[in-house]
Structure 1
Amino acid sequence: MDTIDTMRAFMAVAHEGSFTAAGRRLGLSTRLVSKYVAQLEAKLSTQLFNRTTRSVSLTDVGIAYLERCRPIVEQIDELEDLVQERQSALAGPIRITAPTGFGSINLTQALALFLRAHPKVDIDLKLSDSRVALVEEGFDLAIRIGVLRDSTLIARKLSDMPLIVCASPDYLAERGRPGDPMALATHNCLIDENPADATAWRFRAGTRDIAVKVAGMFHANAPAAIANMAIAGLGIARCPHYVIARSLEEGTLEHLFQDYETENFGLYALYPPNRHLTARVRALIDFLAQHFRSG
């Protein structure tokens, strides 16, 4: 029995909350993962998981063991990465979380290029528009867009992400084109709830800063949903450029207030400060920075 293999199986079950999901993550059968965990529990003479027919959860001892075995496994991974670096071949898993809209299109296009260059790397991408706890859920990397909130995570800016205020030709024909940002107060604005102050839209004209309080009938936590409502003529939207670039080209949305600067969100890669950056994760961050800045 390889103790490290049993520890990897234990960590995977702890992160996934399921023996089946842990097996998929490790590329092992559910039966083998269960066997590894049982062997580890037998060796330690303790129960690490509470098991029912519907769920798997850590015992108090399991929580303490997870905290202590994680750095051990990471050190083993680091040693393996050092060998791989010297052989100049990147290999191994990278677990990433990213926003649904950006992750499903823009990020996957970049990841496809990275995987073609490094076919021995395995990427597990989880898409979510909710904040994800990196350390607790076992992620190596998070890709996030916006103004970063206070965090213990280390952030590297990959590129700027401009916000565009826009509306459909049908909406503008029906309600009129606002002459300046202050006129937004009289329009139906579609609210993306991801920014910290979602209903305060900020602009700059020369040295003058303008903040407009906006309101409207539709709120969502995904910019793609906001964009779709704007295309349907429901109101004025403020979206990251990547979400509406094609709609602007096709003319289904029109860019408003082009003489004003809007807030400029950033595209960031975040990772835990106490986690060793493996060669493959470091190479991926460098690749994404180059890809999105050049794009």
Structure 2
Amino acid sequence: LLYFELVYVMDGIVSYLKQYPEMQLDALFVDRVVNMLEEGIDVAVRIGELQDSTYKAIRVGAVRRVFCASTQYLKEHGYPKKPEDLSEHRMILARGLSPTNELRFSKQGKNTSVRVNPFLTVSDNFSAEKAVLSDMGITRLLSYQVAESLAGGALKVILSDYESRPVPVHVVHREGRYSSARTRTLIDWMVEHLRAQPSLN
């Protein structure tokens, strides 16, 4: 998720500070859910279903969990037509997104799972993306991370009919801070910035 923060959130922060140069921000980029009250955070951007109702949240988009492979790999090995076909392909799993070898799929309200035997397992999405771009196999990544590679044709999405529900993205803030004019300008700016991103909508 740090990729999301560094690319989308940091871009928003940079443009915000250019618009409001008198402001000062302390940005915390971490790949975990933080306790905003304990860590003194006024505004956060979160990917995923929200568990804590004590915060106010504004939905700004969603990301998909997509299976993808390079154009060259698919040309050489063919396109999987259904999840079970993955057993015949070289699978690369990023543990952050696929913590087990049991992959879940959904189609027309029906959920299924397929167990795969990956030839490569990595701890992060960056490494999985590099591997698929090197024509090494098929992996599952978040759509925003591979948006540029998909747009340029280096990667192709497969099994799109079997994708699980998109994961929501929210700008989250503490209720007691909503009346703060300075906090409000940042909230409004980040909401507008993130909603304008094609890969989040």
Bin for the TM-score computed over the shorter chain: 0.7 to 0.9
* Residues 263 and 214 (structure 1), Cα distance of their counterparts in 2 relative to 1, 3 Å cut: farther
Q: Which runs of 5+ in 1 are unaligned?
A: 1-98
* Structure number with higher relative contact order (C-alpha < 8 Å, ≥ 6 residues apart): 2
Could you tell me which of 193, 202, 205 is aligned with 2:95? Answer: 193
1:215-240 deviations in Å (ceiling 9; x for gaps):
422132x4333222221223312222
Specify whether residues 205 and 117 from structure 1 end up closer, same or farther in structure 2 by C-alpha distance, changes over 3 A only: same
SS in 2 for 1:218: strand
Question: What's the offset of the Cα at 1:159?
Answer: 1.1
User: Residue 35 of structure 1 corresponds to which residue in structure 2?
Assistant: none
Query: What's the secondary structure of 2:188's corresponding residue?
Result: helix
Whether the 8 Å CA contact 1:162–1:264 is kept in 2: the answer is yes
Which of these two proteins has the greater Rg computed from alpha carbons? Answer: 1
| Alpha-carbon separation, structure 1, partners of 2:130 and 2:2 | 15
1:264 equivalenced with 2:183 (yes/no): no
Aligned twin of 2:73: 171
Is residue 8–residue 194 contact of structure 2 (8 Å, CA) maintained in 1? Answer: no
Query: Does residue 219 of structure 1 match 2:134?
Result: no
Q: Matched residues in 2 for 1:214 and 1:173: separation?
A: 21
Q: Which residue of 2 aligns with 1:246?
A: 148
- Note if 1:287 corresponds to 2:189: yes
Q: Is the 8 A contact 1:146 1:195 kept in 2?
A: no
Once the 2 structures are TM-superposed, how far is the Cα of residue 102 of structure 1 from its aligned partner?
Answer: 1.0
Structure richer in helix, relative to its length: 1
Letter of the 1:276 partner, please give it: R
Q: CA deviation at 1:280?
A: 2.3
Q: For each residue in 1:75-97, what CA deviation from the matched residue of structure 2 results, as whole angstroms up to 9, or x when unmatched? A: xxxxxxxxxxxxxxxxxxxxxxx
CA contact (8 A) 1:144 1:267 kept: yes
Q: Is 1:208 matched up with 2:113?
A: no
Query: Which string of whole-angstrom CA distances, capped at 9 and with x for unpartnered residues, describes residues 63-118 of structure 1?
Result: xxxxxxxxxxxxxxxxxxxxxxxxxxxxxxxxxxxx42111112122222322332
Give the drift of 1:180.
1.3
Which amino acid in structure 1 is aligned with residue 55 of structure 2?
I
Q: Which residue of 1 aligns with 2:41?
A: 139
* Matched residue type, 2:72: D
Q: Alpha-carbon deviation of 1:256?
A: 0.8
Tell whether 2:177 aligns with 1:276. yes
TM value normalised by structure 2: 0.78
CA distance in 2, matches of 1:203, 1:225: 23
Q: CA deviation at 1:196?
A: 8.2
Aligned length in residues: 194
Calculate percent identity across the aligned residue pairs. 26
